[in-house]
Structure 1
Amino acid sequence: MPSNAPASADNWWCDESSEYAFMGFSYEVTACQSPQQLQQDFADIRNTFNGRYIRMYGACDNDGFYDDVVNAAWDNGIGVHALIWFGFDGGNQWQQRRDSLVSTLYSNPKAKFVTRGIQFGSEPLFDGVLSPNDLASQIWDLKGQVKSLGIPVTVSELAYGYQSNGGAQNVLDAQDYLNIHMLPFFDATASTSNDAWPIVQNNLQFFQENGGGKKMYFDENGWPSVTSEGVQANSGAAVADVTNEAGYYQLLEDHCSDLKNNAQGGIGWFAHIYSDSQEPGYGIYDTNGNKKFNFAPRTYC
């Protein structure tokens, strides 16, 4: 990174057609990590795994927290998929989070140079937080607020979230790119991760047919090593263990060329999630900070 923020973000980002294969990690921030912890983790993501981005998950409502994220991302040459978190219990706190994020994007001179995009909610359609019409309206409004910064806006959602709302085509049309939840463990036909490719294809097909050829990412994307409250299979044959967690990422590696052969240069994917201390069972690291398996995904093929 340069020593100071440039005057303009024109031609700053690599073309999205170069963004496929492994992107980085979902990174849960409910713990409100200290600036030092953010610096340490982002350096590890960049240097150990060649991660290009972190995709924020959850929320920290401490004043100045996104400034800490921006500074750690800048210092470590990493981008951020920011998130406006709705949570699981309703309420309007997301509006304050939206306004706080937009404020930081304008006040911190480095923010637009690390914020690759903004995700409007995590499964807002599946959770019934907003109607498709209201969500589409909010997306268009936010796009207007950040247009001068050149930051695109998306929604982080399951295929089923759209399908259970009649396809929610207006929500798909409103987005600049598509962030897709790919969690085949929960499919009714799930068994082991090495047999999950047809599930991935089935979910992806919805976006291929209805996404208007937009850039796609698998952002909340993984297979759990354990079940827990909220992480229960819908198939009696689904196996949650470290072998299958590792096997799912190997499956994506094995189909790198298939994922690359999609619109706008191919599909980039994130590993959900960085550490089991952030969300049990999904981490690449366990709660003691040890890698659960060898994880060295390709960033190209």
Structure 2
Amino acid sequence: MVFLPFLAVLAAFAVSTRASPLDQPTRTVTTDATSCFPALGFKMPSNTPSSLTNWWCDPSTEYGFIGFSYEVTACQSLTQLKKDFLQIRQNFNGRYIRLYGFCDNAGFYNNIVEAAWDAGVGVHALIWFGFDGGNEWMDRRNKLLGILHSNEKAKFVTRALQFGSEPLFDSVLDPSVLAAQVTAAKSNLSSLHIPVTISEMAYGYQENEDNGAQDVLDAIDLIDAHMLPFFSTEASTANKAWPIVLTDLDWFIDNGEGKKIYFTENGWPSVTSDGVQPNSPSAVANVQNEHDYYSLLDAHCEDFKQVKGGGVGWFWHIYSDDMEPGYGLYSTSGKLKFPFSPRTSC
């Protein structure tokens, strides 16, 4: 099988059964909002620390709004990345960037690392599978793993590595193979203490319940969950979406083995398009409903805080309509669609 050579190579990095990297004291030992990365108020050091000890904030502090999904298919320049990441940090109190899409330019993730370090934000890195069934993801995987090991700053800004965006729903790999890829990458990154997961909606797991989805749930270190209630058959307006959100959240709570949960691909569109069509005749896509969805999440800060595993941190998908029409905080003209000042604690 085409995946076996890579898995064999990674076996050399194998370690004995261990706790999730998010539970390891070398990554998360403090909840002090001024002394851990990437807490608001944290000051980046002039040089990389000698170790990860006392570096990462405890997951229990990472609930409510934590940042934006950010598509990189445009292969943004380092200058643009620095500008956007710093704006996310300073204007919206973002603590993380969740990458979306792909850029195959050599060394591009080095620019992501540099921009994240400069802005003081963490990154949920992504191995993009795409939609055509090709094997380009293997090269992306190998290059990303290489940079995570070679760039001295990478382990200090990379909070998690994601395999794909809805890989179960898109059937890009057999679930058992996907689980094996996750396990192999965990072994590869064990010395860097970078958790590995997939980015997936509840339905992606549910439709593969009898086909190995549990193997994937067992393998991942944390849950990067998709939350897109606009596509529910019960959708109407965003301010009525909480029961839909809660249904999927409860599924992750019930089946997620107490692992930390983030909402990664998470939002409500302001327009429909060829690829964005509702499954309910009552679902409304406009700017007001996009606004109301994030207001709804903000209103449930206390509920997210109480979820076992360290609460639920949520991303806005996606930063700009230039990246994915209808989902951005910024319109294609570069203007804010509406003021946005979400809670990062409660």
Q: TM-score range by the shorter chain?
A: over 0.9
Structure 1 residue 162 corresponds to structure 2 residue 162: no
Structure 1 residue 176 corresponds to structure 2 residue 226: no
Unaligned residue ranges in structure 1 (runs of 5+): none
Structure 1 residue 189 corresponds to structure 2 residue 251: no
Task: Write the distance in 2 (CA, Å) between the matches of 1:200 and 1:145.
Answer: 34
Deviation digits for residues 3-57 of structure 1, max 9, x if unmatched? 1111211221001111000010000000000000001000100000000000000
Deviation digits for residues 243-287 of structure 1, max 9, x if unmatched? 000000000011111111101231000000000000000000001
Residue number in structure 1 paired with 2:67: 24
**Percent identity between the aligned chains?**
65
Which of 330, 336, 339 is residue 294 of structure 1 equivalent to? 339
Tell me which stretches of 4 or more aligned residues in structure 1 moved more than 2 Å. Answer: none
How far did 1:127 drift?
0.2
Task: Write the distance in 2 (CA, Å) between the matches of 1:118 and 1:12.
Answer: 18
Within 5 Å, give how 1:95-134 maps onto structure 2. Answer: 95-134=138-177
Structure 1 residue 229 corresponds to structure 2 residue 274: yes
**Pairwise CA RMSD:** 0.7
TM-score, scaled relative to structure 2: 0.86
The residue identity in structure 2 corresponding to 1:40 is K
Which of 179, 190, 194 is residue 136 of structure 1 equivalent to? 179
Residue number in structure 1 paired with 2:118: 75
The residue identity in structure 2 corresponding to 1:224 is P
Residue number in structure 1 paired with 2:316: 271
Which of 252, 255, 259 is residue 214 of structure 1 equivalent to? 259
Further displaced range: 118-127 or 162-171: 162-171
SS at match of 2:171: coil
Within 5 Å, give how 1:243-258 maps onto structure 2. Answer: 243-258=288-303
Higher gyration radius (CA) = 2
Residue number in structure 1 paired with 2:246: 201
Unaligned residue ranges in structure 2 (runs of 5+): 1-43
Task: Write the distance in 2 (CA, Å) between the matches of 1:105 and 1:127.
Answer: 27
Deviation digits for residues 92-150 of structure 1, max 9, x if unmatched? 11111110001001111001000011011100000010111111111000101101000
Task: Write the distance in 1 (CA, Å) between the matches of 2:116 and 2:299.
Answer: 30
Within 5 Å, give how 1:51-66 maps onto structure 2. Answer: 51-66=94-109
SS at match of 2:56: coil
SS at match of 2:81: helix
Task: Write the distance in 2 (CA, Å) between the matches of 1:265 and 1:171.
Answer: 21
The residue identity in structure 1 corresponding to 2:49 is P
Task: Write the distance in 1 (CA, Å) between the matches of 2:65 and 2:291.
Answer: 14
TM-score, scaled relative to structure 1: 0.99
